[in-house]
Structure 1
Amino acid sequence: MSLAPQASDASGGAGRHGGGRRKGGTKADGRRRRRRALRWSATVLAVVILGTAGAGYLYYQHLNGNIQKGARSSGDSKARRTAPNAAGQTPLNILLIGSDSRNSAENLKLGGSKDSVGSPPLGDVQMLIHLSADRKSAAMVSIPRDTRVHIPECKDPETGKVYPETNDIINTTLARGGAGCTLSTWEDLTGVYIDHWMTIDFSGVVRMGNAVGGVDVCVRQNVWDRSTPDQRGGSGLKMRAGTHKVKGVQALQWLRTRHAWGSDLMRARAQHMYLNSMMRTLRQQNVFTDTGRLMDLAEAATKSLKVSEEIGTVKKLYDLAMEMKSVPSDRITSVTMPNVEDPLNPSNHVVPDKANADKLWEMLRDDVPLDKHGKKPAAKQASDKTGASKAPSTDPGRLGVLVQNATRSSTEAAVPQRARAIGQALVQAGYGRAQADTSGALSADKTVVKYPSADLEGDAQAVAEALGIPVSSVQKSTDVSGVTVVVGADWRTGTSYPKQSKPKAGDLPEGTDAVNGSDKSKCMDVYKPYQW
């Protein structure tokens, strides 16, 4: 039996009566065939869509399963979010941490000694990525790994172990409660609220370097970072003078090199140059229309990064990447925290150069662009949280005010009798019950006035006004029982708070070693013993 008549009979056409069809058929026959074809097409399309969607969903879940997550913060921090600008936008701060963990065969093969296996990892690379509220500028800020800082009490979210507060170099924070402790230490030091963290280890750097396809870097002289008679170790980086595309293991070598650049501080510059070059490379690549490339990058990124739990999905990481991608290269500024030799260990450690470092932190807190192409941020929205004054509820003479001496810093001892001097100034201003806290000197970078409950907010603001302290430094806090003036390291002399000049866009403090994201001319100088 012929298949053609069966098909015709099934359709109810002329063949059903045994008659033949004219060449081309009738108009009705054509409409029936088109409807039948459309039904088949719709069925096939539905199967394809469902199949693709199912595969896409499974792949999305696979990528989500790659991502490791951890608690955002594991320490005590008083940092507060920057208030929204006039358009209701807020800055975004992400802490990027490079781990030196050797606790896998892959990482051990890529660097380090077997003696390090089993030891808690150190955070040898620490860099804050700051996206401005309007997403028109960005900053990358590094703190050298050997910077001695105050580390707050941290609790390991996985084991429950509590690490007491201490004073140590900042790269040890990763071993004291994970990345959440590193984040809390940064917030304690800078006063900048950090929204998220990401960590990456040796093998992650190699995977990402390969997925990107290579990044251009430059050296002025031939370099070989190796052991010398005076210095053991080295990354193994070896290349001739000029510009080279590095990826995989060589990219890791570039990022780990420090002896050949002359210091750990110059390593930060090399890392900034690499990341700037990577961002320029990704902009030039047609990643989002090249499915294969996009999948390679997604696979590498999700396997390479461990992130704070609130951004632990592919969608949230993709959204973050899109926000970063929107910033032009010439509006990205990379800097290193201004620093000086540590008086307790000048040959090995550094400490913040207080005045210049504080200015940098202020620029980040106030969302002032680090590049000169930016404008002054739009005025903040008026609200009780951002500075609107409230009327005092208590007569000054009856209000109890406690004054604490927190002028001690990592580099300077506390100013003797500081709380007593400010307490007497308040008494002269009519606050007869003001008194100094005699329990001992504390440590705080910035002077603040704290109050425990909303009914005392107006009184705290009035106390701040009496001393010349800006209303933005008045904070609600659960760790005080009444209005409390915390005299910080920024107010070591005088009884009237020193007026602070606000930094302008591009007005960077000294010692930041700034690199612009669009600058392709930068080359690393090689320390003489490592030239060949």
Structure 2
Amino acid sequence: MVRSDVRGDGGRPRVEEPGERDGGPERPGDSSETDTDVKVPEQRGRKSGDGGGRGRAKAPSRPRRRRVLRWSATVLAVVILGTAGAGYLYYQHLNGNIKREKLNLGETKIAEPTPNAAGQTPLNILLIGSDARDTEENQKLGGARDTFDGPPLADVQMLLHLSADRTNMSVVSMPRDTLLDIPKCTDPDSGEVYGKLTHTMTNESLRRGGPGCTVATWQELTGIHIDHFMMVDFSGVVSMADAIGGVPVCVTDNVYSHTSDGKGSGLKLEEGTTYIKGKQALQWLRTRYGFEDGSDIARAKAQHQYMNAMVRELRENATITNPNKLRNLAEEATKALTVDEGLGTVTALYDLSTELRKVEPARITMTTMPYTYVGPRVVPKEGDAEKLFRLIREDIALDGKDKKKTTTEDATSDDPAAAKDEIGVLVLNGTMTSTLAPVAGRAHTVSRLLVEEGFTKSSSSTTTAVVEDKTVVRYPSAELEGDAQAVAKALGIPLGQVERSTEVSGVTLVVGADWREGTAYQAGQEDDTTPESADALNGADKKACMEVNPAFTW
């Protein structure tokens, strides 16, 4: 499809390479996740007693004072902004707190998905956790004193997909250790051009002009149109976690994330469920040493547990009514975030929070991009990763609870088709997938098939559409609908794959990834179940508990 921007194999233990730090390539003096000021936190959970086996979450003792609890350290910020309405000057002040960056620094443009029958489109937001040490507070929280004010890495990357009908939400985490291609990006401030990189760790994208390069990297890999991004750093996570008051998390055993050579987040918790906030929440979100096999995959699972618990707490607890607390929350929220220009106002963030709040926890699905190990790193798992990306592109709920679509025969247009030899058809190559290169010469091959069918004005283009899962015929206006359907019928393409689009100037056939070979189009029934390798976690699951590595118990 021609796109525009107008609108693990799991399981294998991760081997740390020399010179690597937790959170990215090692920097001189980096203490990884360690904070030397970490103290044993006050434990609100309790040890398992009679009848309480290990690995089971126990009912936590709740904090004395409940404050409104929100979405993750980033999504949380948007949810609470709607509660602050302190007049025009204060509104302008809050707007001034918000940091803004350009959305996309790459060259590839991905068009928005086609609206559903009600005219609604899904919303895709890239959530980025930066490891920047650009302030004294971030330096203290992140360690690595020799890297103060150095270029940051995008150590946390999650794509949040809100369905077009706002009934469900899907989140896809990309492991920090993923090797992929990073496209050419241009710094919007300096004009510096960063050339394309191949087989590079994904977190490097942030230091190539800003979050807009991370957006461009995701779009090129997945073919998913990204509407917005939200980025938060260490201090932002802590300030927002403090503001929400506490989130329950569970571990199967006592855990202390600390190694003899000073690595680890410093997280120290008792077995069972504990409410965490502030610095402790940051430690949880950064912990790798101590959970499961010590890989970045385990860290993503811990982040999913935290985010799900945050959503549930938001809905189960009372809201804040104290004006001073509301003002403080609004201050922290606006200071914590860097967003794209489209989200750069309190009004835009409030509107977004309204949309997010429509989804019940039971319809939220957290996943990790399916992966395959390549040495100590990972790459997208062939087949499964592309399938997960396709489900997001086609707005198919990952929880499998979408209403079954009824199959009805597509109606033939009332618009009569012109004679075949009078219909101009442009054929494009859309056979590329996230794991497969486009089939060379495919558009020319299919164009010749049309000529043989009598469409003598058919021609092909060397332009390669980024991603088109299904072969589709598009037309720009009602008077060409009959012509487009005639083209589809000649090749055996279902009329349901003929659509009107303002992105084309004439009848346009895009040969999709479902027709990479052969001369006869076969419309198949696709499997729309979420790959098991995506390790899905439902937002209503209160039994989730992180498995503790025996080497990190106390």
**TM-score when normalising by structure 2:** 0.72
Is 2:189 aligned against 1:158? yes
Is 2:378 aligned against 1:356? no
1:495 corresponds to: 519
Deviation for aligned residue 1:65? 1.5
Cα distance in 1, alignment partners of residues 132 and 337 from structure 2: 13
Is 2:242 aligned against 1:233? no
2:67 corresponds to: none
- Match of residue 176, structure 2, among 145, 156, 165: 145
Cα distance in 2, alignment partners of residues 255 and 323 from structure 1: 25
Q: Measured at CA, do residues 126 and 393 of structure 1 come closer, stay the same or move farther in structure 2, by a change above 3 Å?
A: farther
SS at 1:315 equivalent = helix
Is 2:335 aligned against 1:303? yes
Is 2:398 aligned against 1:370? yes
Of all paired residues, the percent bearing the same amino acid is: 48
2:41 corresponds to: none
Deviation for aligned residue 1:216? 0.7
Q: Is the 8 A contact 1:150 1:410 kept in 2?
A: no
Is 2:86 aligned against 1:86? no
Is 2:540 aligned against 1:518? yes
Deviation for aligned residue 1:211? 0.4
Q: Measured at CA, do residues 409 and 516 of structure 1 come closer, stay the same or move farther in structure 2, by a change above 3 Å?
A: closer
Cα distance in 2, alignment partners of residues 458 and 425 from structure 1: 19
1:312 corresponds to: 344
Cα distance in 1, alignment partners of residues 441 and 404 from structure 2: 39
SS at 2:534 equivalent = coil
Q: Measured at CA, do residues 473 and 452 of structure 1 come closer, stay the same or move farther in structure 2, by a change above 3 Å?
A: closer
- Match of residue 254, structure 1, among 277, 284, 293: 284
Cα distance in 1, alignment partners of residues 459 and 483 from structure 2: 16
Cα distance in 2, alignment partners of residues 465 and 421 from structure 1: 18
Cα distance in 2, alignment partners of residues 297 and 60 from structure 1: 14
Deviation for aligned residue 1:486? 5.8
Q: Is the 8 A contact 2:473 2:497 kept in 1?
A: no
Residue 212 of structure 2 aligns with an amino acid whose one-letter code is G
Cα distance in 2, alignment partners of residues 126 and 397 from structure 1: 50
Cα distance in 2, alignment partners of residues 388 and 172 from structure 1: 50
Q: Is the 8 A contact 1:368 1:503 kept in 2?
A: no
Q: Measured at CA, do residues 98 and 490 of structure 1 come closer, stay the same or move farther in structure 2, by a change above 3 Å?
A: farther
SS at 2:544 equivalent = coil
Q: Measured at CA, do residues 469 and 110 of structure 1 come closer, stay the same or move farther in structure 2, by a change above 3 Å?
A: farther
User: What residue ranges of structure 2 are gaps of 5+ in the alignment?
Assistant: 1-83
Is 2:161 aligned against 1:127? no
Is 2:525 aligned against 1:508? no
- Match of residue 75, structure 1, among 95, 99, 106: 106
- Match of residue 289, structure 1, among 318, 321, 329: 321
Is 2:359 aligned against 1:327? yes
Alignment deviations for residues 47-87 of structure 1 (CA, whole Å, 9 cap, x no partner): xxxxxx99633332222221111222222334222333333
Alignment deviations for residues 85-138 of structure 1 (CA, whole Å, 9 cap, x no partner): 333332222211111111222111111413433432121111122222232221
Question: Rg larger in 1 or in 2?
Answer: 1
Cα distance in 2, alignment partners of residues 322 and 71 from structure 1: 24
Alignment deviations for residues 360-407 of structure 1 (CA, whole Å, 9 cap, x no partner): 23322332222244424799xx99xxx989766674598575665x75
Aligned-residue CA RMSD in angstroms?
Answer: 3.7
Residue 303 of structure 2 aligns with an amino acid whose one-letter code is Q
**Range 488-497 or range 236-245, more displaced:** 488-497
Deviation for aligned residue 1:301? 0.9
Cα distance in 2, alignment partners of residues 388 and 190 from structure 1: 34
Q: Is the 8 A contact 1:450 1:476 kept in 2?
A: no
Deviation for aligned residue 1:143? 1.7
1:60 corresponds to: 91
Residue 362 of structure 1 aligns with an amino acid whose one-letter code is R
**Range 368-377 or range 313-322, more displaced:** 368-377
Alignment deviations for residues 201-223 of structure 1 (CA, whole Å, 9 cap, x no partner): 11100001100011111110222
Cα distance in 2, alignment partners of residues 279 and 224 from structure 1: 26
**Range 274-283 or range 459-468, more displaced:** 459-468
Deviation for aligned residue 1:512? 1.3
2:223 corresponds to: 191
Q: Is the 8 A contact 2:221 2:434 kept in 1?
A: no
Q: Is the 8 A contact 1:448 1:473 kept in 2?
A: no
Cα distance in 2, alignment partners of residues 475 and 172 from structure 1: 39
Q: Measured at CA, do residues 110 and 436 of structure 1 come closer, stay the same or move farther in structure 2, by a change above 3 Å?
A: same
Cα distance in 2, alignment partners of residues 184 and 275 from structure 1: 25
SS at 1:351 equivalent = strand
Cα distance in 1, alignment partners of residues 406 and 96 from structure 2: 41
Q: Is the 8 A contact 1:401 1:484 kept in 2?
A: yes
Cα distance in 2, alignment partners of residues 300 and 149 from structure 1: 35
SS at 2:383 equivalent = helix
1:223 corresponds to: 255
Q: Is the 8 A contact 1:147 1:352 kept in 2?
A: yes
Q: Measured at CA, do residues 283 and 401 of structure 1 come closer, stay the same or move farther in structure 2, by a change above 3 Å?
A: closer
User: What residue ranges of structure 1 are gaps of 5+ in the alignment?
Assistant: 1-52
2:73 corresponds to: none
Cα distance in 2, alignment partners of residues 517 and 356 from structure 1: 22
Q: Measured at CA, do residues 139 and 318 of structure 1 come closer, stay the same or move farther in structure 2, by a change above 3 Å?
A: same
Q: Measured at CA, do residues 376 and 154 of structure 1 come closer, stay the same or move farther in structure 2, by a change above 3 Å?
A: farther
Deviation for aligned residue 1:324? 1.6
Residue 501 of structure 1 aligns with an amino acid whose one-letter code is Q
Q: Measured at CA, do residues 490 and 186 of structure 1 come closer, stay the same or move farther in structure 2, by a change above 3 Å?
A: farther
Q: Is the 8 A contact 1:403 1:422 kept in 2?
A: no
Cα distance in 2, alignment partners of residues 188 and 352 from structure 1: 13
SS at 1:125 equivalent = strand
SS at 2:124 equivalent = strand
Cα distance in 2, alignment partners of residues 372 and 429 from structure 1: 41
SS at 1:511 equivalent = helix
**Range 292-301 or range 119-128, more displaced:** 292-301
Cα distance in 1, alignment partners of residues 527 and 509 from structure 2: 25
Deviation for aligned residue 1:330? 1.2
SS at 2:533 equivalent = coil
